[in-house]
Amino acid sequence: PMLPIFALTSAFVLNAAPPLHCSGRGAAPTLRVKGYFASRDVRLVSRRAEDVAAFQERERIRWDVVYDEDYYAFHPKGLGLEFYPGDRVEVVGDVKVKEIENARGRTGVVTHYEFDDEYESCQTCSTACPVTVELDEA
């Protein structure tokens, strides 16, 4: 049976952390601030092997569904990326993020990293800010 396109695309959302969290017992959930950064504006603080493995598995499935190709035939060791969803990073550049005048020094979690999969990814859709980070509360 064919799956609706939204079912296929939603399976590949790379969010590593939910956008809402509770800040205390009985408190209403608050929305965390999401920022978009150039790679040079964030520094890797920590990376968990299980986050990288989960990313590689999602890519393996995506390649099978979208390209009908064996992911590991093209990338025997998986894609080596600068950032993976789930990475903890620190903002090292002077960047305004919504109401935060300068996010330098703030930390957060990478929720998405825009990358070229070296197959048929959109070559014209590149961005100057490929790293999406959900910032921790100040």
Q: Answer whether residue 124 is part of any domain.
A: yes
- C-alpha to C-alpha distance for 90 and 135, rounded to whole angstroms: 9
Tell me which residue range forms the domain holding 101: 31-135
Q: Answer whether residue 10 is part of any domain.
A: no
Q: Answer whether residue 78 is part of any domain.
A: yes
Q: Answer whether residue 7 is part of any domain.
A: no
User: What was the pLDDT predicted at 125?
Assistant: 64
Q: Answer whether residue 13 is part of any domain.
A: no
Q: Answer whether residue 70 is part of any domain.
A: yes
What is the mean pLDDT, run by run of 10 residues, along the chain of 138 residues? 45 43 50 92 98 95 92 91 97 96 97 82 73 94
Question: What are the structure tokens assigned to 11, written together?
Answer: 């399976």
Q: Answer whether residue 77 is part of any domain.
A: yes
- Among candidates 109, 114, 99, 131, which has minimal Cα distance to 21? 109
Q: Answer whether residue 69 is part of any domain.
A: yes
In terms of Cβ atoms closer than 10 Å to its own Cβ (0-12, 13-18, 19+), residue 55 is buried
- C-alpha to C-alpha distance for 119 and 131, rounded to whole angstroms: 20
Number of domains into which the chain is organized: 1
